[in-house]
Amino acid sequence: MNEPIKAAAATTAPAPTPAATASAGEAQPRKVITDPREIAAIVMAQMGVVNAKKEDLAKAIKTLTDMTQQLVVAYAQQARFIERLAQRAKTLEVKPNGSEPNQRAA
């Protein structure tokens, strides 16, 4: 039962780069697979690799989304705090009775 998967793992190794084959001097003949079970095992192994990558990417996107939401909330809180500070500074600068601005620290 595990032999097709092992065969798929062995045949799904990346092909050598053109530079590597050119430096060897001879082109390596590629193995032609004609057995449908072997082809199915290779396809299933590749699908497993793709699904694993897809899951990794989905986790990364979820993490980035959560971090972005946290940053938006923090930014909104800071913006509200800055607005309150600006209003407080204005009220301390202008007194209704026309007196000097208050000199005490906030």
Distance CA 51, CA 62 (A): 16
Residue 85 counted as domain residue: yes
Query: How much is the pLDDT for 40?
Result: 95
Domain count for the chain: 1
pLDDT exceeds 70 at position 15: no
Tell me, yes or no, whether 101 lies in a domain. Answer: no
* Residue 73 placed within a domain: yes
Q: Encode pLDDT of 38-72 as tens digits.
A: 999 999 999 999 999 999 999 999 999 999 999 99
In a domain, 104, yes or no: no
Most confident of 5-14, 72-81, 92-101: 72-81
Residue 33 has pLDDT above 50, yes or no: yes
Tell me: pLDDT of 23 over 90. no
Domain membership of residue 14 as a residue range: 3-93
Amino acid type, 83 = E
18: phi then psi, degrees, rounded to nearest 5 = -60, -35
pTM of the model: 0.48
DSSP 97: T
pLDDT band at 78 (very low <50, low <70, confident <90, very high): very high
